[in-house]
Amino acid sequence: MALAVLERAAKNILALRDPNLRRSHARALKDSLEVRPGDETADLPTARSIADYFSIDLPTLVETLICLDRASAVAFLHDMNKPMTVATFNKRFTAELHEDLLGRAPTVWGKKHVYTYGEVLHLVEYPQRLTLPGSLNRYLR
């Protein structure tokens, strides 16, 4: 299944000039894709934990599509054949629901919620494992 949002994330990472940045950003994307079986979401990476671990600020995570704001989460869900509008996403996936399903509040940047791919998949109760785009595999070695 070709996921346009993930392919754009890979393209953004490959456009970075510094190979060390490409490596850290590829690893950050891999962590963002992580899902857990069933209710084992306590240690699921968050956008904040990825930002802190890889020393990448939240705006950069969102701009490169390593993590998702609401609009890019909706585009990702469309790629996953789970289409909805941003308004529907906002109405359905409140901070309270995030806390109920994942055991913590969503990461906030300014007034925006920022999600990992794994968090989005858990919120729609579709925790399917996704793989890193093949073009980034060499940066995981």
Q: How far apart are CA 127 and CA 134, in angstroms?
A: 21
- The mean of the pLDDT values for the chain is 91
Q: What DSSP letter does each residue of 21-37 carry, written as one string?
A: HHHHHHHHHHHHT---S
The DSSP bridge partners found for residue 112 are 109
Residue pLDDT, tens place only, 85-94: 999 999 888 8
Q: Output the pTM of the full model.
A: 0.93
The DSSP bridge partners found for residue 107 are 114
| DSSP letter (8 states) at residue 89 | H
Cβ atoms of 32 and 118 closer than 8 Å: yes
Residue pLDDT, tens place only, 101-134: 888 889 999 989 999 999 998 888 887 888 899 9
